């Protein structure tokens, strides 16, 4: 008996910042749904190549790694075209690459501003612009990985929060401008993966206690929401889905 076709069979998905953490889980989840994967990385070459090797072991010639520094506008412009040359098409752009760190007011530098706004807003905008013509041929999808702290602020992170808030508005603006050919949506994770520089155990407990579900989520929760937009939401655009266990309706962040 023939196996049912996978929902993203033969589709090509570009995930930025895909070598590690949430990005790697997103890439693996789209691949499991049948997609061919363009795995973008900036400096994590070993991790990206290892992920590509694992995906190709599951389905030969289904994944490739692409290095680019998305702080360079020229690299943003060139990356979608590189993916199209390699795979012959591009159906989904996932803007996942991000920087995150504290910037207490009084200590914010122009370089910090440029870095946080550059990765969280500027790169997604110029990648979307560069990919739009190809995505329009495919009834394509742009999926931005936002953050609930683009909706409600996080203390001492004014620049990051402002950049993610702008990404939320960019999502809605692009949805209006690029429709009907392209859908544009966002996933806004809450506490699903703690920062690599560590979070105090008591702070983790306090954050989790302020979710409605009283637990942290996982990168897989984010990936399931992303797949919903890619496979089961053809009449949904301009939406931002919080994947936060109800954190947005919880108490204050400090």
- In this predicted structure, what is the pLDDT of residue 43? 97
- In this predicted structure, what is the pLDDT of residue 1? 54
Catalytic residue among 55, 160, 184, 253: 160
Q: How crowded is residue 78: how many other Cβ atoms within 10 Å of its Cβ?
A: 14
The residue with tokens 């690299």 is: 75
Question: Is 41 a known active-site residue?
Answer: no
The residue with tokens 């749904």 is: 33
pTM of the model: 0.96
- In this predicted structure, what is the pLDDT of residue 252? 55
Domains of the chain, first to last: 12-246 (3.40.50.720)
What is the DSSP code (8-state) at residue 150?
G
pLDDT (tens, 9 = 90+) of the chain, 254 residues, equals: 556 789 999 999 999 999 999 999 999 999 999 999 999 999 999 999 999 999 999 999 999 999 999 999 999 999 999 999 999 999 999 999 999 999 999 999 999 999 999 999 999 999 999 999 999 999 999 999 999 999 999 999 999 999 999 999 999 999 999 999 999 999 999 999 888 776 678 878 888 999 999 999 999 999 999 999 999 999 999 999 999 999 998 755 54
- In this predicted structure, what is the pLDDT of residue 254? 47
Let me know the angle formed at the C-alpha of 94 by 4 and 245, rounded to the nearest 5 degrees: 85
- In this predicted structure, what is the pLDDT of residue 204? 84
SS3 (DSSP) at 115: helix
Residues in the chain: 254
């Amino acid at each position: 008996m023939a196996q049912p076709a996978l929902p993203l069979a033969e589709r090509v998905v570009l995930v930025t910042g895909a070598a590690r953490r949430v990005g790697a889980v997103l890439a693996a989840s789209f691949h499991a749904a049948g997609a061919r994967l363009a795995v973008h990385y900036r400096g994590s070459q070993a991790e990206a190549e290892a992920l590509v090797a694992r995906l190709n072991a599951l389905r030969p010639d289904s994944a490739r790694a692409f290095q680019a520094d998305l702080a360079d506008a020229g690299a943003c412009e060139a990356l979608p075209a590189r993916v199209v040359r390699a795979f012959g098409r591009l159906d989904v752009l996932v803007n996942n690459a991000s920087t995150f760190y504290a910037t207490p007011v009084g200590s914010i530098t122009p370089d910090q501003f440029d870095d946080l706004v550059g990765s969280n807003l500027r790169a997604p905008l110029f990648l979307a612009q560069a990919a739009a013509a190809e995505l329009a041929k495919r009834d394509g999808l742009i999926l931005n990985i936002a953050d609930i702290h683009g909706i409600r602020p996080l203390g001492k992170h004014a620049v990051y929060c402002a950049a993610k808030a702008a990404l939320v508005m960019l999502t809605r603006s692009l949805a209006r401008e690029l429709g009907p050919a392209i859908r544009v949506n966002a996933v806004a994770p809450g506490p699903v993966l703690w920062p690599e520089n560590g979070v105090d155990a008591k702070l983790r407990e306090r954050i989790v206690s302020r979710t409605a579900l009283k637990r942290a989520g996982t990168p897989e929760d984010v990936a399931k929401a992303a797949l919903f937009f890619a496979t089961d939401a053809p009449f949904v655009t301009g939406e931002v889905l919080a994947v936060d266990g109800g954190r947005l309706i919880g108490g204050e962040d400090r």
